[in-house]
Amino acid sequence: MKKLSFILLLLVAGTAVVKAQSNVVKINIFSPIVRTFNVSYEHVVKKDASFQLGFFYTGYSASGVSYTGLGITPEYRFYLSDTEAPAGVYVAPFLRYQNFTLKDDVNNKGTLSTFGGGVVLGKQWIFKNKFSLDGFVGPAYSSGTVKASSGSSTISTSGGLNGFGLRLGLTFGIAF
């Protein structure tokens, strides 16, 4: 009976370890270079797919001018490797919303809002069942609107900022 209980305990513990790796919280290690905090949460939805939700915030002030911004990026990852998600090679379509504001002490203000999407190709490694390293790159398209105001005058334009760009990153995280 003790032997059977021990075997059952090992099986349950082994299952708990596998289930414990269905979530990853990570930060983009390049973001501090551009004074941005970028955090993502990934949740495995099946053995070869996951959903990730990323947020970023940026802020900087100098010489009476302040710059702030935030964004949200949902993506769905299709893992192509033989290993189960969240490890291996993946393709991920994504959407992205961004909003930036530039203000100065003289009552001038500008805002930029963009919405877009794209697809990235990446690879994520899980080390020691705890740590993740995730690199990705891919094309993105966005469309934006700019508003600028100075005193009582306001200018608004849209469509002039439409275009393609590149999304890339390298994240480090904790799997649980």
* pLDDT per position as a tens digit, 13-46: 444 444 448 999 999 999 999 899 999 999 999 9
- Convert 159-176 to b/e letters by CB count within 10 Å (16 or more is b): eeeeeeeebebebebebe
Half-sphere exposure of 49 (CA within 13 A, CB side): 7
Q: What is the dihedral of CA 46, 168, 40, 135, to 10 degrees?
A: 60
String of DSSP letters for 145-175 = EEEEEETTEEEEEESTT-EEEEEEEEEEEEE
Q: Domain 2-175, what fold?
A: Porin (2.40.160)
The alpha helices in 49-156, defined as continuous H runs, are: none
* pLDDT per position as a tens digit, 106-121: 889 999 999 999 999 9
CA 58-66-31 angle, 5° bins: 20
Prediction pTM value:
0.83
Residue 159 pLDDT grade (very low, low, confident, very high; cuts 50, 70, 90): confident
For the stretch 115-119, contacts whose Cβ atoms lie closer than 8 Å and that sit 24 or more positions apart, written own/partner, are: 115/142, 115/143, 115/144, 116/140, 116/141, 116/142, 116/143, 117/93, 117/141, 117/142, 118/93, 118/94, 118/167, 119/91, 119/92, 119/93, 119/94
In angstroms, rounded to a whole number, what is the distance separating the alpha carbons of residues 155 and 112?
12
Neighbours of 34 (CB within 10 A): 11
* pLDDT per position as a tens digit, 116-141: 999 999 999 999 999 999 999 999 99
